[in-house]
Amino acid sequence: MQTPAQPVPIAVVGAGAFGRNHLRVLHELPQAALIAAVEPDPARADEVARLYSIPVHPTLDAALAAHPSLQAAVVAVPTVHHCEVASQLLSAGIHCLVEKPLAATLAQADQMIALADRHGCILQPGHLERFNPAVLAMQQDLRGPMFFEAHRLSIFTPRSLDVDVVLDLMIHDLDVVLRFAASPVRELRAVGLPILSGKVDIANVRVEFDSGCVANFTASRVSTERVRKLRYFEPGRYVSIDYARRDALVIAVDPHFQLEAAMSAGAAENFVNGLPGLNFDKPTIAPGEPLRLELESFLHAVATGSQPAVTARQGRNALELALGIQQQMADHAQRTGLQP
Ligand SMILES: NC(=O)c1ccc[n+]([C@@H]2O[C@H](COP(=O)([O-])OP(=O)(O)OC[C@H]3O[C@@H](n4cnc5c(N)ncnc54)[C@H](O)[C@@H]3O)[C@@H](O)[C@H]2O)c1
């Protein structure tokens, strides 16, 4: 009989809006031994200590001193602090799941990757949508997508305002499309506008890849509706992923369909009930909470020493694209006099 792996002693650093989601899931996972949290805000710290019966330390120094058995940590502090917190953890030999985006700058990302390599630690960026069951399912069945349309719209909330909408929201789609397109970026066009936060709150981007594939991204955190969709076209097939519903619609062209024959055979009545020659399919997708799947995957990598499903290098690639977009938005603002 196989011996079950020991639960991984883990802590969450930053118990804000998203850190508390990590705490909730880790508390439930048998693969994790949630032993501590770090949170400087006393009210949040008290609430977490009460909910999960764990010590909550005001500083990372205090947590590291109190828990020499700590093996892994989730870093869920504001993005501008990812590097300083993760660097301290990695230097102490602690495996890290760092919330997205991996860091605020490429120099910071490089520093974190070098520390992870030096100390033999796993460094996984928190690209949660990679664990969306719809993304996992369609990733198994890619047929050379050539055109992507990504929409991520949300209603304004006063959170993650240390970064703009590209690093806050669009980064999810950048990471998924980089994975799906599997080709280097050749050209970028971008426009972004600050609306409420003083940083860019709405952005539209066109990326062309070396393969010729083109991707359009729209992200807004000042919308009146919530939309999280990725649509793409492959030869003979259209796929629409709804991240929120965690499902996909696949419309394939019947390879035997001939437009001229259909038109001459039945003219208009052939088209009354929708387009002939198209097969609609809703693939069966196993349900699952992306955050739970992400944490299970991270804990598996820690327990087995295997490469994480999303690597630090992929997190760096998404960040590099996001920073390139920011540069293009700044150039566009300057050219057009749209400076904030
Ligand atoms: N994967 C996702 O879908 C997703 C969604 C939301 C947020 N995030 C990411 O999670 C991170 C946190 O976002 P949030 O919305 O929870 O922010 P938040 O401001 O609600 O929470 C951050 C918390 O970190 C604490 N903190 C600050 N500095 C700290 C330090 N040095 N040590 C310990 N705690 C510290 C703050 O007191 C606060 O409670 C960001 O990187 C954000 O991009 C990811």
Q: How far is the CA of 154 from the centre of ligand 1 (A)?
A: 18
Which ligand 1 atom lies nearest to the CA of residue 75? 11
Which ligand 1 atom lies nearest to the CA of residue 44? 39
Question: Does residue 267 have a pLDDT over 60?
Answer: no
Question: Does residue 272 have a pLDDT over 60?
Answer: no
Which ligand 1 atom lies nearest to the CA of residue 39? 34
CB 167 within 8 A of CB 102: no
Q: Burial code of 296-325, b = ≥16 C-beta within 10 A, e = fewer? A: bbbbebbbeeeebbbbbebbbbbbebbbbb
Please give the residue that has the higher pLDDT: either 133 or 267.
133
Measured over the CA atoms of residue 263, residue 268, residue 271 and residue 273, the dihedral's sign is negative
Q: What is the pLDDT of residues 157-167, one digit of tens each?
A: 887 788 999 99
Supply 28's token pair.
């439930």
In testing the pocket of ligand 1, which one of 12, 13, 18 has its CB within 8 Å of the most ligand atoms?
18
Whose C-alpha lies nearest to ligand 1, atom 21? 16
Question: Does residue 2 have a pLDDT over 90?
Answer: no
Question: Does residue 89 have a pLDDT over 90?
Answer: yes
Which ligand 1 atom lies nearest to the CA of residue 21? 16
Q: Is 128 in the pocket of ligand 1 (CB under 6 A)?
A: yes
Domain residue extents for the chain: 8-129+290-311, 131-288+321-335
Which ligand 1 atom lies nearest to the CA of residue 77? 24
Question: Does residue 340 have a pLDDT over 70?
Answer: no
In the structure, what pLDDT confidence band is assigned to residue 218 with cuts at 50, 70 and 90?
A: very high
Q: Is 17 in the pocket of ligand 1 (CB under 6 A)?
A: yes
The reported pTM is 0.94
Q: How far is the CA of 76 from the centre of ligand 1 (A)?
A: 4
In testing the pocket of ligand 1, which one of 96, 124, 160 has its CB within 8 Å of the most ligand atoms?
160
- If phi > 0 it is left, if psi is from -120 to 50 it is alpha, else beta; for residue 99 that is beta
Supply 203's token pair.
């952005």
The CATH architecture of the domain made up of 8-129+290-311 is 3-Layer(aba) Sandwich (3.40)
Whose C-alpha lies nearest to ligand 1, atom 1? 128
Question: Does residue 268 have a pLDDT over 70?
Answer: no
Residues 56, 40: Cα–Cα separation, whole Å: 9
- At residue 322, the 3 state secondary structure works out as helix
Q: What pLDDT, on a 0 to 100 scale, did the predictor assign at position 158?
A: 82
Q: What pLDDT, on a 0 to 100 scale, did the predictor assign at position 258?
A: 76
**Residue 256 identity (one-letter amino acid):** H
Q: Helix 171-181 and helix 312-336: axis angle, to 10°?
A: 120
Q: How far is the CA of 160 from the centre of ligand 1 (A)?
A: 8
Residues 299, 72: Cα–Cα separation, whole Å: 8
Does the domain at residues 131-288+321-335 carry the CATH identifier 3.30.360.10? yes
Q: What is the pLDDT of residues 19-55, one digit of tens each?
A: 999 999 999 999 999 999 999 999 999 999 999 999 9
Q: What is the pLDDT of residues 127-156, one digit of tens each?
A: 999 999 999 999 999 999 999 999 999 999
Question: Does residue 271 have a pLDDT over 90?
Answer: no
Percent of the chain past pLDDT 90, that is, above it, reads 87
Q: What pLDDT, on a 0 to 100 scale, did the predictor assign at position 257?
A: 75
Whose C-alpha lies nearest to ligand 1, atom 6? 18
- If phi > 0 it is left, if psi is from -120 to 50 it is alpha, else beta; for residue 212 that is left
Please give the residue that has the higher pLDDT: either 338 or 289.
289
Q: What pLDDT, on a 0 to 100 scale, did the predictor assign at position 274?
A: 63
Q: How far is the CA of 147 from the centre of ligand 1 (A)?
A: 33
Q: What pLDDT, on a 0 to 100 scale, did the predictor assign at position 161?
A: 82
Q: What is the pLDDT of residues 166-215, one digit of tens each?
A: 999 999 999 999 999 999 999 999 999 999 998 999 999 999 999 999 99
In testing the pocket of ligand 1, which one of 38, 48, 77 has its CB within 8 Å of the most ligand atoms?
77
Characterize the bridge pairing of strands 72-75 and 185-194: unpaired
Whose C-alpha lies nearest to ligand 1, atom 19? 16
In the structure, what pLDDT confidence band is assigned to residue 4 with cuts at 50, 70 and 90?
A: low
Nearest to 246 by CA among 269, 228, 233, 264: 228
Q: What pLDDT, on a 0 to 100 scale, did the predictor assign at position 5?
A: 75
Which ligand 1 atom lies nearest to the CA of residue 60? 32
Percent of the chain past pLDDT 70, that is, above it, reads 95
Question: Does residue 259 have a pLDDT over 80?
Answer: no
Q: How far is the CA of 186 from the centre of ligand 1 (A)?
A: 33
Task: Please state, rounded to an integer, the average pLDDT across all residues of the chain.
Answer: 94
Whose C-alpha lies nearest to ligand 1, atom 18? 16
Query: What average pLDDT does range 104-112 have in this prediction?
Result: 98
Nearest to 98 by CA among 81, 115, 110: 81
177: DSSP letter = H
Question: Does residue 3 have a pLDDT over 80?
Answer: no
